[in-house]
Structure 1
Amino acid sequence: MKLSARLQQICDQLLPGCRFADIGSDHAMLPVAAILSGQADSAVAGEVNEGPFEAAKRQVAQSGLNSKISVRKGNGLEVIEPGEVEVITIAGMGGALIVSILSQGVAKLDGVRRLVLQPNVGEDLVRRWLLDQNWYLSAEHILEEDGKIYEILTADRRDDAALLNRELYQERIIPGCSQVLNQERLLLMGPRLSESPAQVFFDKWDSEISKLMKVRSQIAKSDLEASRAKEEEMRAQIEAWKEVLSCMQKARP
């Protein structure tokens, strides 16, 4: 089965031969591909909506994998039992929803060794949750597909996660820049993505700055004193981000 580049990157992050749960599995393409390729040994495909749930059941049956993939209808992590899987994947949702699913199902994370998460927006919310819950952000990937940019976050449960995370989010100096990459900026940009940024990384942040500039231009149309203060605050924020990205570009090998 041919996966999209996004789903293939997620599949590649699975622990070889693992038992995993794909939450919000849609048509169960990821579990089917992971089993057929030998990347995973068994899977749970969880889906809360009736249409995708039925589509997932058909996909698994047509692939002859009913003995390997259990398709279950339910909300978030309620489709699994503690200790049942080693890896959980959640993709294609907002970061706030991913955090909500993990928080509400935290008791189901017993025995889980890895989380592979792909938020469509709000990546910083997911990174902050992982940091607060003592999961080590072991890898980050960014890619563009069909005009959209995706970030994939891989986090591992480790005894030394707190120490490793402190090192990972330690403030960094950018050569020739008056700005620094502090923890808040690293949560937004990704501590690993910003270490050796690819062009798609800069494309994303150019787009984010453009969005801020549009908001600022709308605020500037107001005569309210509070709006002028907000507009000035956003101007300074935009200039800081521009400097950070410019210095990061110049520091690229």
Structure 2
Amino acid sequence: MDCVGRLMITKLSHRLGTIAGLVTDGARVADIGSDHALLPVYLVSKGQCPSAIAGELNQGPYEAARRQVREAGLSQKVDVRKGNGMAVVTPGETDTVTIAGMGGHLIATILEEGRVAGKLEQVKELVLQPNVGEDAVRHWLTEHGWALMEERILEEDGKIYEVLRATRVEDAALHNGELYKALHLPVQANSLISDDEAVELIYRFGPYLLAEPNEVFYLKWDSELRKMDRICTQMEQSGADEAIVRAKQFRLEMAQIEEVLACLRKDKP
């Protein structure tokens, strides 16, 4: 059993390893959309978490998760459950919820459904890895009293991922209010970006990632600009009035992103 546990640890990907690194030691964890249960198996086999729930909706991954847990000899500590989102969790049985590998809007929906059902009442920590739409997750956290505490950005196999960690604290509103202040956005002296637009850009970039941008951060946003440019060109070539209006909006967004990136690069030591 010990050998199998060690094998599971060595096979954890950079993405899942980053998520695991943000989970508080000693926390009972629920991994929603767990796929093959690699993350819960790692956390428990390492001794970082005393127990875990692996929730999975689809039958194939659910069976694979059960097999993974069984082969790791962790059936008494990792409970694999079949169900949709937070439906697999009973209030009070988990300290940390992890959700990874989904779109940001879907993650926000899962969290909201869990909140309405009372599944998050005693949860202390969220570790979330949206594939896209990270701003939707940040907005949900702010709107529901979760303090964003850490962010990571990484590249693996040609894909870029962001990982967010949030906790429930009494002064979450003050904490988040400070994070998303318009004045924190690096802009030119004569910038036309309004305060509201600046705040929204911080939600989009990520306040911690914006404060300490690394090479992966720049890689992501350079790639995003290229994608937006291709979309704009297609819309402009279509000739449709609605598409042309939308393309103009995209061009404005691109100009704002480019301004921020230029200021960040200028300030780079």
> 1:162-201 to 2 correspondence within 5 Å?
162-171=173-182, 172-174=184-186, 176-179=188-191, 182-201=198-217
Question: C-alpha distance in 1, partners of 2:144/2:163?
Answer: 18
Q: 1:23 to 1:226 in 2, by over 3 A?
A: closer
Q: Mean Cα displacement is larger for which, 124-133 or 217-226?
A: 217-226
Partner of residue 243, structure 1:
259
Report the identity percentage: 49
User: Is the 2:187–2:259 Cα contact (8 Å) retained in structure 1?
Assistant: no
SS in 1 for 2:237: coil
Partner of residue 71, structure 2:
62
User: Is the 1:22–1:44 Cα contact (8 Å) retained in structure 2?
Assistant: yes
User: Is the 1:20–1:40 Cα contact (8 Å) retained in structure 2?
Assistant: yes
Partner of residue 220, structure 2:
204
Of 54, 72, 93, which residue of structure 2 is paired with 1:45?
Answer: 54
Partner of residue 3, structure 2:
none
SS in 2 for 1:105: helix
Partner of residue 114, structure 2:
105
User: Is the 2:187–2:260 Cα contact (8 Å) retained in structure 1?
Assistant: no
How far off its partner does 1:226 sit? Answer: 4.4
How far off its partner does 1:165 sit? Answer: 0.6
> 1:206-225 to 2 correspondence within 5 Å?
206-225=222-241
Question: C-alpha distance in 2, partners of 1:170/1:134?
Answer: 17
User: Is the 1:196–1:252 Cα contact (8 Å) retained in structure 2?
Assistant: no
Question: C-alpha distance in 2, partners of 1:94/1:173?
Answer: 25
Q: Could you say which structure has the higher helix fraction?
A: 2
Of 134, 158, 175, which residue of structure 2 is paired with 1:123?
Answer: 134
Q: Deviations over 1:76-106 (max 9, x none)?
A: 1111111110000000011111111111111
Question: C-alpha distance in 1, partners of 2:17/2:185?
Answer: 34
Is 1:159 aligned to residue 170 of structure 2? Answer: yes
SS in 2 for 1:220: helix
Structure 2 residue identity aligned to 1:80: V
Structure 1 residue identity aligned to 2:268: R
Of 140, 145, 166, which residue of structure 1 is paired with 2:156?
Answer: 145
Question: C-alpha distance in 2, partners of 1:76/1:58?
Answer: 21
Of 17, 21, 29, which residue of structure 1 is paired with 2:38?
Answer: 29
How far off its partner does 1:211 sit? Answer: 1.1
Partner of residue 248, structure 2:
232
Structure 1 residue identity aligned to 2:151: E
Question: C-alpha distance in 2, partners of 1:53/1:65?
Answer: 15
How far off its partner does 1:229 sit? Answer: 3.8
User: Is the 1:24–1:45 Cα contact (8 Å) retained in structure 2?
Assistant: yes
Partner of residue 15, structure 1:
24
SS in 1 for 2:63: helix
Q: 1:159 to 1:203 in 2, by over 3 A?
A: same
Q: Mean Cα displacement is larger for which, 231-240 or 28-37?
A: 231-240
Q: Displaced runs of 4+ in structure 1, greater than 6 A? A: none
Q: TM-score, normalised by structure 1?
A: 0.95
Question: C-alpha distance in 2, partners of 1:56/1:79?
Answer: 14
Q: 1:31 to 1:182 in 2, by over 3 A?
A: same
| Matched pairs, number | 253
Question: C-alpha distance in 2, partners of 1:173/1:49?
Answer: 41
How far off its partner does 1:240 sit? Answer: 2.2
Question: C-alpha distance in 1, partners of 2:36/2:250?
Answer: 42
Q: 1:213 to 1:175 in 2, by over 3 A?
A: closer
Unaligned segments of structure 2, at least 5 residues = 1-7
Unaligned segments of structure 1, at least 5 residues = none
How far off its partner does 1:228 sit? Answer: 4.0
Q: 1:226 to 1:54 in 2, by over 3 A?
A: closer
User: Is the 2:145–2:173 Cα contact (8 Å) retained in structure 1?
Assistant: yes
SS in 1 for 2:140: helix
